[in-house]
Amino acid sequence: MATVTTTDTPGISRREFLYYIWGSSIVLITLQATGLLVWFLLPRFREGEFGGTFTLPVDTVPPTNAPPIPNSAGRFWLSNLNSQEPNNLMYRAEGEEPIVGVVAIYKVCTHLGCIYDWNGPNDRFECPCHGSKYRLDGRRIQDPAPRNLGRFKFYALNENEEVLAESASGPDGYEPLILPPETVYIRIDTGDLANGQTQVLLENVPPAN
Ligand code: FES
């Protein structure tokens, strides 16, 4: 008489199959989240990627304490500062010396390199990535930015494009330059960038009386 033998069928059960699908989905989602986090944290833009000299008519400078004017090709903002005039854009903080003159501010946030923008209704620069805020002259109002914004070397030129005056190097990078009356052109050297300093956040300093 023939005997019947039974053997276990190789393979996986339906329950095991569902476990595998579930496990694979978790791994996939984790990888995607990690990729997004890395992308978010990486600098968008590396310093020194560009450089060049921009010579512009003096009327490209904004009026004193008016909103800054961007230059996309040069990746800078032009700000015309006077903290001695009462105003919202260039208010003077307690303990600050008067700040007067024109600066060319690097368009890249000092935190992780995002391109920030001017927020007109709030009268300040604001970075969309992690919320740093800066005053019209580039000084930090709110972190996580570790430093004030960088500034480029700046020149005032006469009608023959001869240098009349140039921005001096100071604790906060290149100091604002008061334009001589004979100025016809300005020149910004985007190959010459000076980093801003780490000052007390302006949100922790009351305005000067
Ligand atoms: S890059 Fe983080 S606040 Fe600007």
**pLDDT tens-digit profile of 47-94?**
444 568 999 999 999 999 999 999 999 999 999 999 888 777 888 888
Same domain for 66 and 142: yes
Same domain for 103 and 39: no
Q: CA 172, 174, 177 angle in degrees (round to 5)? A: 120
In ligand 1, the atom with minimum distance to the C-alpha of 127 is: 4
Q: pLDDT category, 7, cuts 50, 70, 90?
A: very low
Same domain for 125 and 73: yes
Query: In whole angstroms, what is the distance from residue 128 CA to residue 155 CA?
Result: 31
pLDDT at 171: 84
What residues are in contact with ligand 1 under a 6 Å CB criterion?
A: 109, 111-114, 127, 129-132, 144-145
CA of 128 to the centre of ligand 1 (A): 7
The rounded mean pLDDT for the chain is 85
Pocket test for ligand 1, best of 112, 141, 142 (most atoms within 8 A of CB): 112
Q: Is residue 105 part of a domain?
A: yes
Verdict on whether the full-model pTM lies above 0.85: no
Rounded to an integer, the average pLDDT of 113-136 is: 95
CA of 198 to the centre of ligand 1 (A): 15
**pLDDT over threshold 80, residue 25:** no
CATH code of 62's domain: 2.102.10.10
113, 44 Cβ separation under 8 angstroms? yes
Residue nearest to atom 3 of ligand 1 (CA): 130
What is the extent of the structural domain holding 153?
Answer: 53-204
